[in-house]
Structure 1
Amino acid sequence: MATPVMDKAEQISAAFPYITVTFRIRRFNPEVSAEATWQDFLVEIDPKERVLDGLHKIKWEQDGSLTFRRSCAHGICGSDAMRINGRNRLACKTLIKDINPGKPITVEPIKGLTVLKDLIVDMEPFFQGYRDVMPFLITTGNEPTRERIQSAKDRERFDDTTKCILCAACTSSCPIFWTDGQYLGPAAIVNAHRFIFDSRDDGGEQRLEILNGNDGVWRCRTIFNCTDVCPRGIAVTKAIQEVKRALITRRI
């Protein structure tokens, strides 16, 4: 059987698999206007590239004033969380081809936090909630002379919640957080869970008391938004329920 030969148009298409995509970005600059506006950009891009690549092309080639956060670009730092087509995602993990590039791709800042400029929000309230749950190992007694030993089974108990990268995708997808800025939020509870159930830690009761307050776990309405959007696949709602159960039974 003869090997099929591509014509010139097919060869060009294979060599340059670019498509034109419309990025519809929510812009806000407090030095210019108190109101946010939407701005469209046409971008020539390979559909196998990421939304972050498209934002880079816009900033570097069309409008250098476009402002957003990013760092590692590999889904580890969590700094480029934003709402893409109405859903919280990491721009560096979202492929163009997976979000219907035939229609405008909407990009806007995550909700529930004050927008500073374009896609950048004030993360301080989010990190304050994280700090409030004491996300560090608390121990009593004398310092050990060697590392603190932990069995694989004990480690497995909180393995899921060690994956959090503090991107705020879960917290900023929570309607309770949108309407009540005092709520600690899913990410803070996840990071409390990571230490509450750590067999080496002695601060579980202190954290449970913090989470038992008006702004703690009882504000959760089990909507599952947080679990659905977590880029690390953490069962966030399950972790919150486990903390609630620990509060009721006082068994860690």
Structure 2
Amino acid sequence: MATPVLDKKDAAGEPEPGFADSPYITVTIRVRRFNAEVSAEAVWEDFQLEIDPKERVLDALHKIKWDLDGSLTFRRSCAHGICGSDAMRINGKNRLACKTLIKDINPEKPITVEPIKGLTVLKDLVVDMEPFFQAYRDVMPFLITKDTNEPTRERLQTAEDRERFDDTTKCILCAACTSSCPVFWNDGQYFGPAAIVNAHRFIFDSRDEAGEQRLEILNDRDGVWRCRTTFNCTDACPRGIEVTKAIQEVKRALITRRF
């Protein structure tokens, strides 16, 4: 990939021959900072930096941490929209920082970055994910069969059977859907959309034999019936999963016991 060439002006302010205009713009990244060792209150802090608008918010956070303030704390791993670790609220909307381009979120105004809601903030943009993962574990997100012996051949499945739960296999456990849910904001005991999506993935898997167990788990007062169908979760999902549809299918399975 070609390295961008910074612009070079002559005495009259005109670009010198052979030099291209700079692709960089000045943006303000407004980060919600929290450090319990310093203060019990969160504060907003502005950082100004030069950046190519085709770069991502994650790149901007890297520039801040590496060049301006090494104490800035956030999670990230793969940086390619697969690990889901860098979910955060950007301009008031849950997004993955590694998939959000600067140019797509109006860089002429300060870009606000804050932690996802509904989970305890540990420091800056890092939240305690344990309640989220506990709900995930509670729905038994793994294949269960009555046969205690290892299979002697592959568990076959038709293309149609696989398609039945294809959408919910896309979940990357970023918590963007769960932390966008107003029910979860007000009651952290609610399983939340992500846990229900991962239960859906196995409830409708023709090879699994624990669908009834998972349905009973989700039939709890903190299960699927708490969903108010606001579609926040579907809008927030960076993988395009039809989360609300999956939740409704689980509700229907609870009523009809057909899945």
TM-score class, shorter: over 0.9
Give 1:57 shift.
Answer: 0.1
Show the counterpart of 1:155. 162
* Percent identity of equivalent pairs: 84
Alignment partner, residue 131 of structure 1: 137
Normalised by the size of structure 2, how large is the TM-score?
A: 0.93
Paired positions, count: 245
Q: Does 1:173 align with 2:180?
A: yes
- Of 218, 222, 230 in structure 1, the residue corresponding to residue 229 of structure 2 is 222
Aligned: 1:19 with 2:25: yes
Matched, 1:76 2:82: yes
How far apart, in 2, do the equivalents of 1:232 and 1:86 lie? 19
Superposition deviation, residue 92 in structure 1: 0.1
Structure-2 residue corresponding to 1:3: none
- AA aligned opposite 1:249: T
Q: Which amino acid aligns with 1:148?
A: R
Q: Matches of 2:157 and 2:71 in 1, distance apart?
A: 50
One-letter amino acid of the structure 1 residue matched with residue 67 of structure 2: E
Counterpart of 1:55, as a letter, is L
Letter of the 2:219 counterpart: N
Query: Do structure 1's residue 87 and structure 2's residue 93 form an aligned pair?
Result: yes
Structure 1 position 12, deviation (Å): 4.5
Q: Distance in 2 between matches of 1:158 and 1:174?
A: 22
- Asked if residue 114 in structure 1 is aligned to residue 120 in structure 2, the reply is yes
Which residue among 101, 105, 108 is the counterpart of 1:99?
105
Are 1:48 and 2:83 counterparts? no
Q: Which amino acid aligns with 1:250?
A: R
Q: Distance in 1 between matches of 2:173 and 2:16?
A: 46
Gaps of 5+ in 2: 1-13
TM-aligned CA distance change 1:154 to 1:21, over 3 Å: same
**Alpha-carbon offset, residue 126 of structure 1:** 0.2
Residue identity matched to 2:97: A
Q: Aligned-pair distance for 1:13?
A: 5.0
C-alpha distance 34-10 of structure 1, shift in aligned 2 (>3 A) = farther
1:111-135 CA-partner distances (Å, limit 9, x unpaired) = 0000000000000000000000000
Give, in whole Å, the separation in 2 of the partners of 1:84 and 1:10: 40
Find the aligned partners of 1:58 and 1:175 in 2 and give their Cα distance: 31
Residue 248 (str. 1) matches residue 255 (str. 2) = yes
Pair 1:146-2:153 in alignment: yes
Paired with 2:212 and 2:203, the residues of 1 have a C-alpha distance of 8
> What amino acid is aligned across from residue 77 of structure 1 in structure 2?
C
The separation in 2 between residues aligned to 1:82 and 1:11, in whole angstroms, is: 41
Unaligned runs of 5+ in 1: 1-6
After TM superposition, give the deviation of residue 43 of structure 1 in Å: 1.0
2:98 match: secondary structure: coil
2:193 is aligned to 186
TM-score, reference length from structure 1: 0.95
* Displaced runs of 4 or more, over 4 A: 9-13
